[in-house]
Copies of this chain bind each other. A is one copy, B any other.
Amino acid sequence: MVSLKDHSTPTGPDRIVISVDAMGGDNGPATVVAGIADSAAKNPGLDFILHGPEAELQRLVARKRILEGRVAIRGAADVVNMRDKPSQVMRNGKGTSMWSALDSVRDREAKVCVSCGNTGALMALSMIRLRKLPGVNRPAIAVLWPSRNPQRFNVMLDVGADIRADAEDLLQYAMMGASYARNGLDLTRPRIGLLNVGTEEHKGRAELRAAHDLIAAQTETGNFDFVGFVEGGDIPGDRCDVIVTDGFTGNVALKTGEGTAQLIGDLLKEAFAYTPLSRLASVLALTSLKRLKKRIDPRRVNGGVFLGLNGTVVKSHGSADATGVSAAVKLAFELARSGFDDRLAARVASAAAQAQDAAEAGGKDTQAT
């Protein structure tokens, strides 16, 4: 059971409260507390509700002067492990820090929830505790991806909430991705691309053609531009800001890109360690390499965001260090401050109604002709 502590929830006129699951990451709660302390130092308007083993969290928080008076601790003895099955967690997860962290958003004590835990379990619990937005069929996980665009990142969704997506799901992803890009990347009118393969023949996949037409018809409701079909090479490119795809393809693309970037990074290190001259060069180049690393460091873009729920959930990498946790909290803070979830809900509901009308009208036309 969740034991609610008698700490009062931190509140104030302009303060943003983020609910943080301290457990479930590979590096334990000390890393999470170090991460939120880092965020707290950067954002004076930010407070936390922290969920996990009470005594341990109190000890860790007490050590960070910057967190004084800004953290409410909610004791939760159980932890969701990386190997726990989502179905088990849904049945038996009530006493976990993850469940407790989501309930703070459900109960409107916090605007956004951050967790480093098991993605499948976090999505499953988010679905039952927060429930889907009216009009949303499948929630999606969106990530930021380093790109050639001026804003330096593109949004891609879905990267693995669900392996299936029909045309209407893809339309909803477009709406949700546009909202996220507007509020997370400050783009007034994001450009949406629908992921497909290059060859003409292949553009015939039925649900993608249908989604193409649905999305093209909703650019005004969704307040976005639509560039049509894009290819894998456009994910880190500048043809669009938001890449829409099903969770199977998106997950493979995400992990392929991450794996390729890591391989190149490791080979770069090897190349620089090869000769005394190249080692000298790498010392001289250190600042340049650090700048590059910062530009594409996955820790800086740490945080998949669950969209399409009543409340926002930021999933941080399981292996996130303090910098990674801090990046996820920063993203949560920005999304909470923009209040984008309310506007997203309105747009999705409106688009769903219009798509329904269009489908019914289309059905009538077909019958009439």
Contacts and interface: CB of A to CB of B under 8 A. Distances in A.
Interface of A: 85-86, 119-120, 146-148, 160, 163, 195, 197-202, 205, 231-237, 245, 247-249, 251-264, 266-268, 270-272, 274-275, 277-278, 280-285, 287-289, 291-292, 295-296
Nearest first, the 3 A-B pairs at minimum CB distance are A232-B255, A281-B284, A281-B285
Contact of A235 (B247, B259, B277): B259
A267 B292 contact: yes
A252 B231 contact: yes
Nearest to A290: B271
B256 A256 contact: yes
Residue from A163, A235, A282 with most neighbouring chain B CB atoms (10 Å): A163
Q: How many copies of the chain does the oligomer comprise?
A: 2
Nearest to A253: B256
B232 A259 contact: yes
A156 to B, nearest CB: 10
A288 B272 CA distance: 6
Contacts of A275: 287-288
A299 B153 CA distance: 28
A199 B291 CA distance: 33
21 contacts: A146-B263, A147-B263, A148-B263, A231-B255, A232-B251, A232-B254, A233-B255, A233-B258, A234-B259, A236-B263, A237-B259, A256-B256, A260-B261, A264-B264, A264-B296, A268-B292, A271-B289, A277-B284, A281-B281, A281-B282, A281-B285
A359 to B, nearest CB: 25
Contacts of A119: 199
Given A231-B252, A232-B254, A256-B260, 15 more contacts: A147-B263, A160-B197, A160-B199, A163-B197, A195-B252, A232-B257, A232-B259, A236-B260, A249-B249, A253-B256, A256-B257, A264-B296, A267-B292, A275-B287, A282-B288
A258 B86 CA distance: 34
